[in-house]
Amino acid sequence: MATWTFLTNHGAVLLILARHSPITTRRIAEMLGRTERLIHRILVDLEEEGYLSKQRVGRVNHYQLHVDQPLRRSVVEDVTVREMLQGFRVLSRT
């Protein structure tokens, strides 16, 4: 059985946030089968690079994705987060 996937952990976290906000770091980790520490690091990476912002409400973070940011790979740098999410049918095409 293959040990690789088509999406990076960062991409998978973006997809989860687009579908489920608010959500806890623990729940994201459970959904991806990763550690909370790794998910926290990914969330920090995404926030530092301008792909999301968060607002703490009680014990839960509410995440806002910045979907007009371009993807980071040079072969898809003309594709935005919005277009990627639309391709995965997470966002409507309106």
Backbone φ and ψ for 61, nearest 5 degrees, come out as -90, 135
77 pLDDT higher than 80: no
Query: Cα 78–63–79 angle (5° rounding)?
Result: 5
Per-residue model confidence as pLDDT tens digits over 38-74: 999 999 999 999 999 999 888 778 899 999 999 887 7
Per-residue model confidence as pLDDT tens digits over 4-20: 888 899 999 999 999 98
Instruction: Check if the beta carbon of residue 80 is closer than 8 Å to that of residue 67.
Output: yes
The H or E element containing residue 56 is: strand 52-57
Fold classified for 9-87:
Arc Repressor Mutant, subunit A (1.10.10)
pLDDT at 31: 96
Domain boundaries, the chain: 9-87
Confidence of residue 94 (pLDDT cuts 50, 70, 90): low
pTM: 0.86
Helix axes 36-48, 9-19, angle to 10 degrees: 80
